[in-house]
Amino acid sequence: MKAGFDTNLLIYLVTNQDEDKRRRVEDLWKRTGKKFVPYQVLQEFIWVLKRKLGLGYEQIRSLLLALKREAEIGVPDFKVIEQAQRFYIKYKFQYWDSYVVAESFVSCCNVLYSEDMQDGLKVGDTLIIRNPFLTLSPGSPFP
């Protein structure tokens, strides 16, 4: 199984903003075989680390390198932009969310973990969106 991760989950993973959510995401991260971080998520992640959390360049760089070691990182692609536009129209996502979903879909993810999107929504024939805070408790099997 290949799983995509949305921005908030990565923020929980590297901060102590919410200890319960951090533990859940950490457990999910460890149990996920193939991890995928969409390019849009990476951009948002960097912005939050810099602007909202005040991390410096070296701290952010260190976190990015650790992420790169453990997950496949998406790259911008026109095919993803086209798919994002189709999903934007069909599913009524916010535009940047449609890009995250499209990138996960095009990258053959089976699941996209996000706390901001509709839990259980099946996108296309292969991708399902899951909110790990609604569907998973620490140590539980994948949905």
Q: What are the residue boundaries of the structural domains of the chain, listed by start?
A: 2-133
Q: Position 82: which residue type?
A: E
Q: CA neighbours within 13 Å on the CB side: how many for 134?
A: 11
Summarize pLDDT for 49-104 with one digit per residue, the tens: 999 999 999 999 999 999 999 999 999 899 999 999 999 999 999 999 999 999 99
Tokens of 105: 């879909």
Residue 135 confidence (pLDDT): 59
Q: How many residues does the chain have?
A: 143
Tokens of 43: 């951009």
Mean pLDDT of 27-51: 96
Rg (CA), the chain: 14
Residue 137 confidence (pLDDT): 52
Question: How far lies 29's CA from each of 88, 106, 121, in Å?
Answer: 28, 21, 21
Give the pLDDT band of residue 45 (cuts 50, 70, 90): very high
Place of tokens 């026109």: 78
Q: Position 143: which residue type?
A: P
CATH of domain 2-133: 3.40.50.1010
Measured distance CA(27)–CA(22) in Å, rounded: 9
Measured distance CA(110)–CA(125) in Å, rounded: 9
pLDDT for 138 beyond 90: no
The predicted model scores a pTM of 0.91
Q: Give the full edge-to-edge strand order of the sheet including 2-5.
A: 72-73, 34-37, 2-5, 111-113, 127-130, 122-123
Q: Residue 5: enclosing H or E segment and its boundaries?
A: strand 2-5
